[in-house]
Structure 1
């Protein structure tokens, strides 16, 4: 069995979700052969060199899960794109490119965070290009920690204000981008998060049946996962203790 999750947005002022994830790592994740996190594990990450008590605890729990025998993989999201090799080494998570193709359920599956598919949001796409630029990232990482923390707070505030004024369809994936991306990667199975709209979508690519699985975001009383057992893929929610 393999598990895929996304969009936990872990942060100190949401202790219920953090504890739910820790319980998940100590329970269901250890029963799986692999756990893949498709971005936004953290609400914000300002660099591997800054780790408070909260971040250290999450890293330690990931490492314990890895050491218990579960393969861990992490793909950057739009909130934690500054996670780097030091985090990967300490947590036991392999870093995945976005997108990544792998075999799941006997199919060639395309894994993404999902934000690159929201092409209708031109302002966000411009920010994404900047945020994924290695030169820009190096410039940010060179700033003092306090300046990076202030920048993270400012970006979260700006994101919330901008999203409140955007039409719902703009913040969802663009159907044409989905089809083009599946065609480009020669896949008929897409799995992503980001939109916080859990669902299984049926579509067609060049006359062939295709599916898009959207993994939901975690909340104080609820988590989401995609469970892969043999050829079966099951999108499911579960209660957090």
Structure 2
């Protein structure tokens, strides 16, 4: 039997019972047809990953009886993705793929040319949780409420470096810029910022360039859609600065995990 992997809010420790949400129980019981005693993997972003078994508590409720720890919580790259919201299917795609790529924060940013006014944060978080479950991440990125670009930059954290995707073509190639960083810059917290389909306004570009630790970069000779640019820049950052430079661990060689969609 493949093992269903679930994100839970509860603290995790050996011997406890972790409550499962109604949607999780429905999926396990009625979609995956999991019986009592079925193996699970649980994580909460704080306590690592734990083996567990499914245990019924009535017709519509169940808990996970927690066993032993399979992986301790480990530090992950501290990189935010700041992006202008795009239409529904594509913003869902950004949330899913940015989670797979290891973003620690998903920050929608409202700009002068942003065409989308409403962002469903709960939907983005659900997409991020699903992606974290599937990709064996030990955490789920924080999904923040949309914020105006001026407000975001006005409170920019000291020491957080900003990788700005420069649509004007004024920045060096991204691989050249990131490849030349020293050890201190690589170890710093980072953020990637990408504009909307219509691009940043000139005053917005000026405000971005005034950030102390900004690095404007180009993304090649082709015009990229906003969602493509966001994920391409994040992938380049991971390859040249983040944890893609580390050996790839072999996870769960003794069993297969299955995706849980709720």
Bigger Cα Rg: 2
Give the TM-score normalised by structure 1. 0.34
Could you say which structure has the higher helix fraction? 1
Give the TM-score normalised by structure 2. 0.32
